[in-house]
Structure 1
Amino acid sequence: MLLTMPSEQRDALTVAVVGLGKIGLPLAAQFAGKGTSVIGCDVLADVVATINAGHSHIHEEPGLEEAVAAAVAAGRLRATVDTTAAVTAADVVVVIVPLMVDARRAIDFSILDSATNA
């Protein structure tokens, strides 16, 4: 729905994307490419630094490096390890973190719990 909003409404929003992995970073870049201000959150400081330098740490996604570079250069994408501040500043929050499953097929929600408690 966000990507289909009229541009004047979409451009006024700030979106926090929590989890900048294989799904989160492309989603953040897509939102930013459509004119939305995006604050990406990740627990890994090196991932945050790479994105803020205008680069992608995900190399197998065609066009992502260019999309991140363009979004950062335009001031529409920035990354942080401070999830609490990002969520506080956002109008919309998207959480995309992994759920781990053990050998007994029990789901470990600790990463999701950590992301949503920040």
Structure 2
Amino acid sequence: MELLHTIILTVHIIAGLSVIGFVLIQHGKGADMGAAFGSGASGSLFGATGSANFLSRVTAVLAAVFFVTSLGLSYIATSRPKVSGSVMDSAPVQAVPAAPVQTPAAPDSKAKDIPK
């Protein structure tokens, strides 16, 4: 179970960082005006509109992977057995030798001399 948790956590972190990266790479809606003045969008690897479709699809797939791993991690965290009680329940018990209780002898007092 620990290995599965580690694998899901690793995929979760990679998917989260990838979503951040792909969102930052994408052009916003205001990027069309910049492309009109020669920003080079038409000469990209995927064509003038191909990169928008590719990046948005990859971002959507990575977001879905991120959500699924989030659900998996939450399920693993809540499926562990709950341990009730306190920490002192699992502490080792040490036997303490019983010492004989001795009452101190009453010193001679003048209470005996008081008449009743």
Greater relative contact order (Cα < 8 A, sep 6+): 2
Scaled by the length of structure 1, what TM-score is found? Answer: 0.18
Look at both structures and tell me which one has the larger radius of gyration over its CA atoms: 2
Q: Name the one with the larger strand percent.
A: 1
Give me the TM-score of the superposition, normalised by structure 2: 0.18
Structure number with the higher helix fraction is 2
